[in-house]
Every structure is written in structure tokens, then in C-alpha cells.
Amino acid sequence: MKRSLLIASTFLSSMTFAQDCTELFISEYVEGVGNNKALEIYNPTANSIDLTQYIVIRFSNGSTTATSTYAVQLVGTIAPYSTHVGAVDLRDPNGSGQTAPIWDDLEAKADAFYSPDYNTNSTWYWNGDDAVVLAKGSAATPMSAQLIDVFGKIGEDPGTAWTTIAPYTEAAGGPFVTKDHSLIRKSTIRKGVTNPAITSFNALAEYDSIPALINVGGNDEGNWASLGSHDCNCAPASISEVVKANISIYPNPSNGTFTINGLQGITKIEVVNSLGQIIENISPKNTTVKVDLSNRKGVYFVKLMDSTGDLITKKVIVN
């Protein structure tokens, strides 16, 4: 109990100051097979932000405290309405077991690499049952940092992973959503979670969960096409706000067939897969279009253009 109170009191100062679109937040969490671990952070503001002010902390297996070996100082700068992708720093092709390298397609997505030696710093080695925190402060003293966002529930070990049935632990049942999966923050989320004392962690309340792998031509490939960009309602639209507000895609996630509605002024639609290939090229004749991607699991990007060439992009997940 004392440790839980320590967490709450340590981070309490930030709880009443979180405003929409004013602070960084976690936009995608990757817990892939093997050592494929990554975290995407999104800047929802109109200003570039110095990432060296921020740290990532891992609260391992239900722990309520973290030392400097579980915290990493971020590097670089993040542009307005842009992302920073950090991946675990395992790039030696000769590595094996605990040091096996991350896959090439995940490495290509990364802006920076963290925690190269597990025995020195194990921050980036989450495995589906660890709370991951974005905070403002020093990695040398993580428990004094200001809470910015939380993925998971600090102080809870859910078992193998968090699931879909309340209270969302393995004991409650339900499919795993935080192990061997990526979690993509919904576009409607405009700020991080700054209350460390949540009752339970329902990942699907703010995230879409997709499998870590997709099958392409009979081979398993990383399902990381969405890393490096994030669809968020904080970002300004080149197409008028009125048009953007009217556009909806449902259901999303989809089992293959989805509807795009509110296409007033939209003259061209492209559906692009994770390899950048155009799967569908549509010239809408009505304000509603149905798209069928049956048997094509993965993340797709729907590009909508008006007559001037202005563009907005929506993300669609096909399960």
C-alpha cells in the first residue's frame, strides 16, 4: 500500500494540468515476437519539442517503483504533429536468444535506439505485462519525474498480458491484447493518461490492438506499417475542417469490408497497404463508398483528396 501511495503522490502534480493537444503522449506500443519492441511518441502541438526533457520508465511485473536501470532518457527533437519511434537497440545480426536482433523492417522504422544491454538497462524490454510510462524528468531519478502518460496499470501484474474482459487480466479471461501485438492510439485521443491510480487497464478503450505479424505470400512479416505516423484529431487538416469532420470510416477495426462516409468534395480515394502499394483507387460518385479488403489482414491507409490536391489520411485496421 505504501508503494502505491508513493506512485500517486509522486506523479500527482501533473494530474490536473493535462489539456488536449498540449503535451506529448504515447501513440503506439509494439510488443512483437522475439525482441521486437518499440514505442511511438506523438507531438500533438504546433511547436517542436526537445525530447531530452523526457524519459521512458518500465514498471516490471507489477512493480510500483523503478530505479535508473528501468528508465531511459530520450534523444532528439520531435517536430509538430510528428512522431518519434524508439526501438530496442538490438541490431547485431550475430545476436541470439536474449540478444537476438530486431527485424530489419522494424529497425528501418526507428528514429532512435535504446537499452542496448539488458543487464545494464532493461527499460525497453517489456513483454506484455509491464506498465510503460512517459514522464518528464531525469532517468537518474525516475520516481521524481512528472507523469505525462501511462500504458498499462502501474502496480498490477496482469499475468501474461492485459486482455479484453474486465478487470482485463489473464485470470479474467479473454484474448491477449498487449503481448505479440501492437497497440495504436485512437485518433480521438488528444492527451495522455496522467492518473496513475486507475482502477483497471482496458487497453481497447484508447487503443486498437493488431497482431504483431501479418502473412504476406506465405511468409510472416512485421505488422508495423503504421509506425512513424499517427492519425490524431489534434493535427490541422489541409482539407477544410468541415469536410474532415464529416468523414467517417466504419467499422474500424474491420473484418474486411468497411464504409467511408461524408465524402463531400472528395474526388479521389487511394487505399495503400503496408508496402506502399495502392490496393484500391476510387473516384467516388457518391458521398458514401464501400471498400472490400476481405482476406487482407493488416494496417491500411486511406488517402482522401479533393480537387485542389489537398490530402488527409485515415488509418484502417483489418483483422
Same domain as 254, residue 205: no
Q: Are 251 and 106 part of one and the same domain?
A: no
pLDDT in the model for residue 229: 87
The residue out of 222, 250, 269 marking a domain boundary is 222
Cell, residue 312: 488527409
Give every CB contact of residue 106 below 8 A, 6+ residues apart in sequence: 30, 32, 36, 38, 87, 222, 224, 227
User: How far is residue 162's CA from residue 206's CA, in Å, rounded to a whole number?
Assistant: 14
130 lies in a domain? Answer: yes
Answer for the pair 125, 172: CB distance below 8 angstroms, yes or no. Answer: no
pLDDT in tens, 292-315: 998 888 888 898 888 766 778 888
Report d(CA 152, CA 169) in Å as an integer: 11
Range with the lowest mean pLDDT among 21-35, 92-106, 295-309? 295-309
228, part of any domain: no
pTM comes to 0.77
User: Is residue 196 included in any domain, yes or no?
Assistant: yes
Beta-ladder partners of 183 = 29, 209
Residues 286-291, mean pLDDT to the nearest whole number: 91
2 vs 170 pLDDT, higher one: 170
Quickly state the pLDDT bin for 90 (edges 50, 70, 90).
very high
Q: Is the pLDDT confidence value at 124 over 90?
A: yes
Domain that holds residue 271: 241-318
Q: Is residue 236 part of a domain?
A: no
DSSP string, 285-309: SSSEEEEE-TT--EEEEEEEEETT-
CATH for 264 = 2.60.40.3080
Closest residue by Cα to residue 183 from 39, 29, 26, 56: 29
19 and 118 part of one domain: yes
Where among 222, 252, 270 does a domain terminate?
Answer: 222
> What mean pLDDT value characterizes the chain?
88
Give me the pLDDT at residue 219, please: 79
- 245 and 289 part of one domain: yes
Answer yes or no: is pLDDT of 66 > 50. Answer: yes
Same domain membership, residue 140 and residue 53 = yes
Does 156 lie in the same domain as 278?
no
Q: Does residue 194 share a domain with residue 63?
A: yes
Q: Return the pLDDT at 102.
A: 95
Question: Looking at the domain assignment, is residue 120 inside a domain?
Answer: yes
> What's the DSSP call for residue 245?
H
* Lowest mean pLDDT across 131-140, 237-246, 295-304: 237-246
- My answer on whether 208 and 259 are in the same domain is no
Please tell me the total count of domains within the chain. Answer: 2
Q: And the C-alpha cell for 153? A: 496499470
Does 235 reside within a domain? no
On whether residue 106 sits in a domain, the answer given is: yes
Is the Cβ–Cβ distance between 94 and 81 less than 8 Å? Answer: no
**Tens digit of each residue's pLDDT (9 = 90 or more) over 249-284:** 999 889 999 999 988 888 899 998 866 788 899 999
Do 307 and 185 lie in one domain? The reply is no
38, 109 contact by CB (below 8 A): yes
Q: Outline where the chain has alpha helix (H).
A: 2-11, 104-107, 241-246
Provide the 3-class DSSP secondary structure of residue 151: strand
Same domain, 30 and 145: yes
What average pLDDT score do residues 136-160 get? 97
Looking at the domain assignment, is residue 231 inside a domain? no
Write out the three cell numbers for 100: 537476438
Residues 256 and 129 reside in one and the same domain: no
100 and 198 assigned to the same domain: yes
Per-residue pLDDT of 160-219, as tens digits, reads 999 999 999 999 999 999 999 999 999 999 999 998 888 999 999 999 988 888 877 777
